[in-house]
Amino acid sequence: MDTSRLTRIDETSWQIEPSGAMRVPGIIYGDETLIRAMDDKVAEQTANVASLPGIVKGAYVMPDAHWGYGFPIGGVAAFDPNEGGVVSAGGVGFDVSCGVRTLLTGLTVPEVRRVQERLADALMSSIPAGVGSHSGITLQGREMDAMLRGGAAWAVEKGWGGAEDLARIEERGRMEGADPDCVSERAKKRQRREMGTLGSGNHYLEVQAVETLYDPDTAAVLGLAEGDVVVTIHCGSRGLGHQIGTEFLRDMLPAAAEAGIHLPDRELACAPIHSPIGERYLGAMRSAINCALANRQILGEFAREVFARFFPDHPLDLLYDVSHNTCKVETHTVDGRPRRLFVHRKGATRAFGPAHADLPEALRGVGQPVLIGGSMGTGSHILVGTGAGDKAFSSACHGAGRAMSRRAALKRWRGRQVVDELAERGILIRSPSMRGVAEEAPGAYKDVDQVVIAAERAGLARRVAHLRPLICVKG
């Protein structure tokens, strides 16, 4: 990115001054190296988001950002419905509520090393992964609608997990306001056999070692100790969320024109929050959030069943479950007064600070866990929200962020080469697609350590632990 277009605020904050149709500034977080490595398209998209009606304070961009559809991946923007604010399908993304959950195993690295090969194979055979994979669960009719209304709470009622899991999931496992009647039959049909599946692309299940603790006291509250093993699952709302995004992006284009909204980019298709299509989208999008929460709950239970075969005395307790691609109604203080806003996070994590009422009591003293996904070989991080100054509406980064396109990655790596090189480092990869492994090669991503350090220095979240992969089932 050309930094001459930006005003540097401090070490990790850069501003795009309002100009033209922009209603608020754009704020990009990252150190100078990360900022220079970002595509110029990120700045262009940020300025476009800043021009949408009803936007409040600024258009924010996280340190892992890269070019996306309409909004940059890593983009955050809040809209006030009482000031003509909009809801944008492009501001949520196609994989609605794609997110991460981490489970504690109570196991040590040597215990897992003794069965690593067999455990990897067992996970691969029990975790449906790849394009078109099915789990054996079939939903339709009333049961589909019950899932879309109930989310992870529905999954628990059906026997996938326990009630104690729900306290450790955003929205306590069930997003209010979901309306399955707003979800098309085509979207429901796509999801009919996809519950309990990872999907493809950057989705994965990883068995990880807790390698470094940056804050042992907070780590203890989260149940983490050096040398422990955890399981992390990254996936979303599968075909249903993608179909909802596709349909509403199409339908919001004429709706925006009818509402007199000038779109600087067709990919920013949106509608007034207080409009029939805006409310229909929210009903459908919230249904997709519940779909993703239920999907990760089922996958977590599948992982528990596999671990129970090897370690029957070690149940997997849920640390936390966070979503990345959402629009949620939240109260934030703006110019000294609380306001109810529709906060879009696309490739960004909600990161409430300590004492926030929406956090489970056990975590209220340390802040919301921020689970940062890695890329097979580069490791992952666990942070907690700071709440400092309500920066970016209490948001933080969500991963390393791509450094190159999948096409470019395919030209540089072969899947077998990546698998063999990682195996030499003690990391076992299982995947139905060597092409997918090449597309997701660790080198195709930014330096995740640099990203989380920038997030910490910007005051978005603070580091607690670094995780090293042992096994990765890649979608």
Binding-site entries: 95, 202-206, 234, 324-325, 373-376, 380, 398-401, 474
Contact 239, 60 (CB under 8 A): no
Whats the size of the chain, residue-wise?
475
* CA angle (295 as vertex; 299, 97 as ends), nearest 5: 125
The answer for residues whose C-beta is within 8 angstroms of residue 162's C-beta and 6 or more apart is 156
Torsions phi, psi of 345, nearest 5?
-125, 120
Contact 208, 112 (CB under 8 A): no
Annotated binding site for Mn(2+): 95, 203, 234, 324
**Which residues are known to be catalytic?**
398
The Cα 44–Cα 58 span in angstroms is 14
The Cα 309–Cα 306 span in angstroms is 5
